[in-house]
Chain A
Amino acid sequence: MGLPGIIGAVALPCIFFWTIFRPAAMPAPVVFFLGLLQDLLSFAALGTGVLTLLILHGVTLRLRDFLVRQSFLSAWVVFSAFAAGAGALGWALQAVLGWMLPPAAPGLHQFGIAVGLYPALAWVLARLHTAMRRAETAL
């Protein structure tokens, strides 16, 4: 697992978090751009990362009203389910575009790293979020 794999695993929690708590800062075009950047940096078939991230963004946005009220633990569980879905989608797209069955292990690694990184990233991002909100209310 090289650096690009970790980029993919970091992008998932960040997009999930900001879509829930600050959807104005993470609109769909930004997600699109991030996915494109991720695809160009890695050797993956172009478009797979874009589609995966956009669908994650869309589903999260749809469930936002529900997710924003959840505790950290249940958000983590929901995120794990989403990350598993994203991994499965990425694997399927890779299989269709490359027309051969890719091994499942790298996708599982990425899923594991994304789920494992979520608490640490969420902690940092939550601090950032409260700081930003405090700054906004102070204005």
Chain B
Amino acid sequence: MIRLSIPLRQALARLSLPVLIAAAFGIMLLGKADALLIERMRMSLADALAPIWGAVQEPVSAVRDAVQEGEALWNMRAENARLIEENERLRRWQATALALEAENALLRRQLSWVPDPAPQFRTARVVADAGGTYARAVLLATGPQHNVRKGQIALDERGFAGRVTEVGSRSARVLLATDINSRVPVTLETSRARAIMVGNNAARPRLQHWPEGTLPREGDRVVTSAQAGAFPAGLPVGVVRWTESGAVEVELFAHLERLDVLRLFDFGLSGILPPESVARPEPRGRR
């Protein structure tokens, strides 16, 4: 340790705060100028912390599971009645679906229809909400040998959740559909009208830019649209809801508040990705 005279040390202590504030501005500029470097720093930190997040998540999920178990026991009776009623209804739908499936097969035989290839997917555990005050994102632990790529689409067991934006060596970050930077081209299932689903950091993203004359109706199913080549058509997203103030929102099928595992689908699409991520070499194990 270098011995400094007391006035010099005091002067240094007084200087350090302004210098560090200037450094903070410098970092801000750096973050704006070289987003790739910052992204690499973020992901290396996330890689290092992914096991720790996973360990921290264990007791949290244990407590959450216990609470859910208790709630489930409490609600079992009402749930049972509801399920019996729903089962009746679903049986009727099942009959309809089987009839339609048979009809569909019959019609397809006449058209020499080429079926879509089944997409590959892998499942990854959510280890942390990697968002913050102004962002909605989650961190996935993918393990060291993975073939997760940028632009892959994340679905939970109910529907569309988000898109992979950053990939590290053993973790990946998924920007959720509710984030303010999220723009998803969607189709309204009944009217086939196209629109853009815009995240606003709230629980329900907004619907924008639908064609004039086709107003989205309350309860319309919203699915992804293949426009711009970023998403395949027809992934379930949510249901249209009108707010009291007259805005159109999408109630997502996916439960983004408590994600446990996400399925990452590789549809081989690379629409709307920044150039550096497309130019990057493919990870091993693919093709």
Contacts and interface: CB of A to CB of B under 8 A. Distances in A.
A44 interface: yes
B180 A102 contact: yes
B220 interface: no
A5 B132 contact: yes
Nearest to A45: B31
Given A3-B128, A106-B133, A51 B24 contact: yes
Interface stretch (B15-23, B108-116, B245-253): B15-23
Contact of A28 (B20, B25, B28): B20
Given A46-B27, A46-B38, A103-B201, A28 B133 contact: no
A51 B21 contact: yes
Contact of B133 (A31, A36, A42): A42
A36 B24 CA distance: 9
Interface of A is mostly: helix
A54 B24 contact: yes
A44 B28 CA distance: 11
Interface size class of B (residues with CB under 8 A): 35 or more
A58 to B, nearest CB: 5
A40 B128 contact: no
B42 interface: yes
A81 interface: no
A102 B31 contact: no
Contacts of B21: 51, 54-55, 58
A105 B179 CA distance: 14
B13 A27 contact: yes
Given A2-B131, A8-B133, A58-B17, A47 B41 contact: no
A97 B24 CA distance: 13
A48 B28 CA distance: 7
A110 B132 CA distance: 10
B164 to A, nearest CB: 14
Interface of A: 1-5, 8, 27-29, 31-32, 35-37, 40-48, 50-51, 54-55, 57-58, 61, 90, 93-94, 97-98, 100, 102-103, 105-107, 109-110
26 contacts: A2-B130, A4-B128, A4-B130, A4-B133, A27-B16, A28-B16, A29-B20, A31-B20, A40-B42, A41-B49, A43-B130, A43-B131, A44-B133, A47-B28, A47-B29, A50-B23, A50-B27, A51-B25, A51-B28, A55-B21, A58-B17, A100-B180, A102-B134, A102-B201, A105-B201, A106-B133
